[in-house]
Amino acid sequence: MDIFHNLISLSLFALIAAQVLKIPFGLIINKKLDFSSIVGTGGMPSSHSAFIVSLTVGIARVSGIDSPVFALSFVFASIVMYDAMGIRRAAGEHAKLLNSIMSTDNIFKMNHKELKELLGHTPFEVLGGLILGLIVGLFYPL
């Protein structure tokens, strides 16, 4: 097996590409150059979506769409993307509210470590990851 032409390297390439793309997208969207986004969660595009969609497309290329492994990967990809937009995003919204409450109360200020707010993704960010995953999955040499 070639170390650079397999499903693992395909998926890792999509993940790294998504993380690197967060820098220019952050500059365009937020008008701020933030290199820390390369290792952070949230943001455009969703690296989780890019990773799992590229893996699913790669499996389709290698095993076919009638393969049980493709079916499993497709279901798993759907769950990951739903989770990114739903549960993880809601947790981020809750963190924003809790940080706001704790910053106004002196009792909490003393022992308060600010919660991470950027946890999930908007549907647009997940779509960006999905598109990136499709492109990488279709064109990465296997």
pLDDT tens digits along 64-122 = 999 999 999 999 999 999 888 776 666 666 666 666 666 666 655 556 666 555 556 78
The mean predicted confidence, pLDDT, of the chain is: 84
Q: What confidence score (pLDDT) does residue 91 get? A: 65
What residue numbers bound the domain in which 14 lies? 7-139
CA atoms of 49 and 36, how far apart (whole Å): 20
**Considering its fold, how many domains does the chain have in total?**
1
CB within 8 A of 119, min separation 6: which ones? 41, 42, 88, 89, 91, 92, 95
Please check whether residue 38 lies inside any domain of the structure.
yes
Judged by average pLDDT, the poorest of 18-22, 24-28, 113-117 is 113-117
Judged by average pLDDT, the poorest of 46-55, 65-74, 79-88, 130-139 is 79-88
CA 12, 13, 14, 18 torsion-angle sign: positive
Q: What are phi and psi of 67, to 5 degrees?
A: -80, 140
Please check whether residue 103 lies inside any domain of the structure.
yes
Answer yes or no: is pLDDT of 133 > 80.
Answer: yes
Tokens of 115: 């919660």
Please check whether residue 104 lies inside any domain of the structure.
yes
Give the torsion through C-alpha atoms of 26, 45, 118, 39, to 10 deg: -80
Answer yes or no: is pLDDT of 51 > 60.
Answer: yes
Judge contact between 129 and 112, C-beta under 8 A: no
Please check whether residue 33 lies inside any domain of the structure.
yes
